[in-house]
Chains A and B, each alone.
Chain A
Amino acid sequence: MKITEKPVAFYPEFVRKSGPHKETTHYCPGCGHGNIHKMIAEAMVDLGINERTVFISPVGCSVFGYYYFDCGHMQAAHGRAPAVATGIKRANPEAIVISYQGDGDLAAIGTAETLHAANRGENITVFFVNNAIYGMTGGQMAPTTMIGQKTATTPRGRIESVHGNPIRVAEIIATLPAATYVERVAIGDSKHIMKARKAIRKALTNQVENRGYSFVEILSTCPTGWKMDGPDARDWLVEEMTKVFPLGVFKDESDHREGAWHRQVEPFDPAKRDAYLGAGEAEAKAEKLPLPAELHCKFAGFGGQGILTLGLFLAQVGMRAGLHASWIPSYGPEMRGGTANCSVNLSERRIGSPLVDKPNLLVVMNQPSLEAFAGDVVQGGTIIVDTSIVEKCPEYPGRRVVRIPATGIADEVGTPKVANVVLLGAICAATGAFPQAFVEQSLRETVKKKDLVDLNLAALRRGYEHVGDAG
């Protein structure tokens, strides 16, 4: 007895899907995605690979691939599925990686990733579902929309001289030497569907046998976007789409690449990664300088004042002290004169997020920054203000305000450019974070131009002194 039914590579119930219907897909009646999903699921079972398959969902109607397939999943940014697939495959060569993409995702925003993954001959399988329209967003013209085809954005039909021609992706991919297998199939009539089934299985088999990059373009339907019912849409696919997108095998070197794909990928080893990145060294250091309190800092000012460098420098001092440190900048497009800020965390424990929304230390070098961020500082926190530039600095109840004319002091030392180093001294003095000798040594080792070391040291000491005197 032969029973043909829902393949077990589908979840028994689609529990991730919202709404009451957990056994049906979210696709419209007559949509081709369901057919293609079914044939992929069936092939996954027959090849015994569903336990090691990673399905990359694109942006588009098939964005919810993870509702349905009982395998690993990764969601990629729009068009980036082949790049994500590349990473997963290289890190886990045993994984069977499927990049499933529609025409908008693959042939518009993701054209570059598509071509380059094929051109590198990544050992992945790409299923390109081409229904000649943007379905999810409401039926707009896609790169593969046919001449004369009416869409939401081509209400009089696609015009060659205005919108260009439909892109034949399979033909383009077939020109790339590294691609192994390129075929275009359709899910029009039964013959087409059974051919598509065969192509899907072959493309996956190729990956299982390490034969390299396989690309199957599947002409599909969008009854909703095309404003047709299911059978009419299939007829239109067969009669019209196949004229512009001829079916067939455009390249097949599967037999010449058996089990000998050229790239020998080293298996992913977390320990090697950590060693490469230097992670773990901080923990290994026997001596950690104790930190009186975790620092969650915000540094803000105009671009060009050295405010980002100040944050970076504090983070580097923290790293030298064996602490966990993070630094993340935020700035506009201007190289000079725009506003800029950065967040710095210093902790004896691992840092979860580099973002700082509620700082316990705020350092500001202009008026707008003080006004923007002072309200975020937690009770008991410290606000350090460069009063050479910030004219109005009120009291903030529950917060300590340290006023220091940092830019003026820097100018006395030699140049206003070292105002940030004056502030570094003020920070370390105000928080008691690091011994002065340690910070001075860090500065000596960090300043690149050695003839500027003394200038920086002088600025740092003035910062320490100012806060100490006030203190």
Chain B
Amino acid sequence: MNDSVQATAPFIEIDAELCKGCKLCIGVCPKGVIDISEKLNGSSYHPAYYLGRDCTGCALCFYACPEPAAIKVVKP
């Protein structure tokens, strides 16, 4: 994915260190573009991560996520 595509397509950022791996974002994502990592983060959770494509910027994951700062949604 090049820079110009990133600037026009919606995307999410998940802070792996702030994620507690509850998987609620995965359940609500209408596009199924969030998955759970096999790696552990510093708090011993398997954090969620964005697959890197097809996000619509609907922000449902943001509201389903109980952590204040784990998910950021950008919709250009």
Contact = CB atoms under 8 A, between A and B. Distances in A.
Contacts of B34: none
Interface in A53-84: 68
A304 interface: no
Determine the interface band of chain B, counting residues with CB < 8 A from chain A: 20 to 34
Interface string A1-31: 1111111001000000000010111011111
A161 interface: no
A6 B63 CA distance: 10
Determine which residue in B43, B66, B75 has the highest number of CB atoms from chain A within 10 A of its CB, and name it.
B66
Nearest to A21: B43
A5 B71 CA distance: 7
B27 interface: yes
Nearest to B63: A193
Determine which residue in A21, A24, A30, A38 has the highest number of CB atoms from chain B within 10 A of its CB, and name it.
A24
A33 B66 contact: yes
A261 to B, nearest CB: 31
Nearest to B75: A2
Contacts of A252: none
Interface residues of A, number: 36
A32 interface: yes
A197 B73 CA distance: 17
A35 B65 contact: yes
Determine which residue in B22, B64, B70, B75 has the highest number of CB atoms from chain A within 10 A of its CB, and name it.
B22
B72 A3 contact: yes
A25 B72 contact: no
A234 interface: yes
A37 B68 contact: yes
Interface stretch (A223-231, A311-319, A339-347): A223-231
A303 B36 CA distance: 69
Contacts of A24: 18, 20, 43, 67-70
A3 B66 contact: no
Contacts, number: 98
Interface string B27-67: 11000000000000001010000000000010110111111
A433 interface: no
Contact of B22 (A21, A29, A41, A197): A29
Contact of A35 (B21, B57, B66): B66
A107 interface: no
A38 B24 contact: no
Nearest to B59: A4
B73 to A, nearest CB: 4
A459 B22 CA distance: 77
A190 interface: yes
Contact of A231 (B27, B60, B67, B74): B27
A13 to B, nearest CB: 10
A315 to B, nearest CB: 51
A234 B27 CA distance: 10
Which 5 residue pairs spanning A and B have beta carbons closest together? A34-B66, A230-B22, A30-B22, A29-B20, A29-B22
28 contacts: A1-B74, A1-B76, A2-B57, A3-B73, A3-B74, A6-B68, A7-B68, A23-B68, A24-B20, A24-B43, A25-B68, A27-B66, A29-B22, A30-B20, A30-B23, A38-B65, A38-B68, A41-B68, A190-B63, A193-B60, A229-B23, A230-B22, A230-B23, A230-B24, A231-B22, A231-B23, A231-B26, A234-B24
